[in-house]
Chain A
Amino acid sequence: MNRDIQRYTASERSNHWAVAILFVLAALSGLALFHPALFWLSQLFGGGPWTRILHPFLGLAMFLFFLWLAMRFARHNRFDANDRRWLRQWRDVVGNREERLPEVGRYNAGQKLLFWGLLLCMLVLLVTGFIIWRQYFSHLFGIELIRLASLLHAFAAWVLICSIIVHVYAGFWVKGSMGAMLSGRVSRGWARKHHAAWLKQVSPDEAKQR
């Protein structure tokens, strides 16, 4: 009998992958405009002008889907005392020695940090993105603000892309995580190893057993 447990519903998974696909498109089109060495990426979007036209809409769509995702997951991402300990023991984290770490709930401190970091980046990208959206909005703003927004937009995008690289690697590194976001299910072993406190929450008989 399969005793896997559900970690993500179909809607949560769809929402996550919608954000992921839009992120990839927004990131590639944004990078095309960021560094000359990557301008060729604009060919993926039908050339320079199309990249310029599509990028803001892709970004906006990513933000809206992310906002939806954030509303689903925000309550699981509140920091507590254990999280501070977990972060201090980051060497055990990257060394795969989770048995030394405090029991983790639905999300560990790294995931929570990522969650709030992404939200912050997305907010900065949204606001600065409107300011530098030349076709519809830039005429409403002063030149100094546009310059600052351009710089902040590039910086927030950089932080976001680096964070997502870490996020993607972590999904591959912790075997079973990728499956969790694809099929929605994780094994009990996985849950016990990585999110023991969460397992006790969702599976009362587990709490009795241990």
Chain B
Amino acid sequence: MSSQDIIARSATTTPMPSVRQVDEVAKLIDVSKCIGCKACQVACSEWNELRDEVGHNHGTYDNPADLTASSWTLMRFTEHETESDSLEWLIRKDGCMHCAEPGCLAACPSPGAIVKYANGIVDFNQDKCIGCGYCITGCPFNIPRISAKDHKAYKCTLCSDRVAVGLEPACVKTCPTGAIVFGTKEAMKQHAEERIVDLRSRGFAQAGLYDPPGVGGTHVMYVLHHADQPSLYAGLPDDPQISPMVSLWKGITKPLGLLGMGLVALLGFFHYVRVGRNVVEEDEHGPDPAVHQVDPAVHPYDPREPRV
């Protein structure tokens, strides 16, 4: 991608080139249409040349058990018993949400290791990643994973390489039920509206779109049958936002901290200028102190007089 497509860059305090007008893209995941086939996981693994280690069965359908540096997307299965005693199988495709205000990018100390493209995709540049894990600390969705092999952080790229050349992400292309769709953010919102009307007519009165405003909206959105309780879906945050502790740590503290240190140093300098050093007048390095008592005016001069 051209450098003009980057509108935010980690550990960078001046604005990025942002004159170019680019439509924001979004991936819409309709949880109500998902059958849990994991084709998206396979497609992700195929396209990105990722092969996760074969793990163990943890007693759930989740496979692998969690996101890893080589599994950038994961179906999370929840068995939800409704009030009317029926069972709902809630299957959510988890992965990076591509926040408009990304917590990972705010926390990252390495210039350019995390970028946000004008189309809304948040991408990690592993060649600039230093492996500190601050992106994990900053992320409200618990997404980035550090590889044990190379100590770099990885996550879903929203197939930024495919999108850059006009293709949809691999997971979208492969989804057999059309539960995952991709387009401009506006188009996806419209599409979601239609789906929500349909779901409401089928008895899901609380159906709605998950596009959390706490992070400025996301470029991966969900249609949920229970949009009033996102946390039902394997702990999807109800109201995600960058933690106030992270904002404080990586926000105003940074310039104020430097300013404070600079002021302390300046304070020292001006103390020296105004008050000066505290020097011992009557020094007793060489001769016996009795000499001074006889005649205090006598100050023997010693060219080798050291630093004291």
B-binding residues in A (CB < 8 A): 1-4, 32-39, 42, 47-49, 51-52, 94-96, 98, 132, 134-135, 138, 143-144, 146-148, 150-151, 154-155, 158, 161-162, 165-166, 169, 172-176, 178-179, 186-190, 193-194
Contacts and interface: CB of A to CB of B under 8 A. Distances in A.
Given A158-B257, A174-B277, A178-B307, A135 B265 contact: no
B240 interface: no
Given A35-B258, A36-B12, A37-B13, A134 B131 contact: yes
B137 interface: yes
Nearest to A133: B133
Contacts of A35: 254-255, 257-258
- Give the 7 A-B CB pairs with smallest separation, nearest first: A134-B133, A48-B130, A169-B268, A36-B11, A147-B245, A189-B280, A176-B308
B280 A147 contact: no
Contacts, number: 145
B272 A173 contact: yes
Given A36-B11, A190-B308, A165 B265 contact: yes
Nearest to A183: B306
A34 B109 CA distance: 7
A49 B151 contact: yes
B170 to A, nearest CB: 29
B60 interface: no
B284 A188 contact: yes
Given A36-B111, A132-B137, A187-B280, A179 B306 contact: yes
Nearest to B146: A134
B161 to A, nearest CB: 24
Interface stretch (B73-81, B179-187, B285-293): B285-293
Given A36-B109, A49-B151, A175-B279, A150 B134 contact: yes
B13 A36 contact: yes
B308 A37 contact: no
The residue among B128, B258, B272 with the most chain A CB atoms within 10 A of its own CB is B258
A34 B254 contact: yes
A110 B134 CA distance: 36
B190 interface: no
Contact of B257 (A138, A154, A186): A154
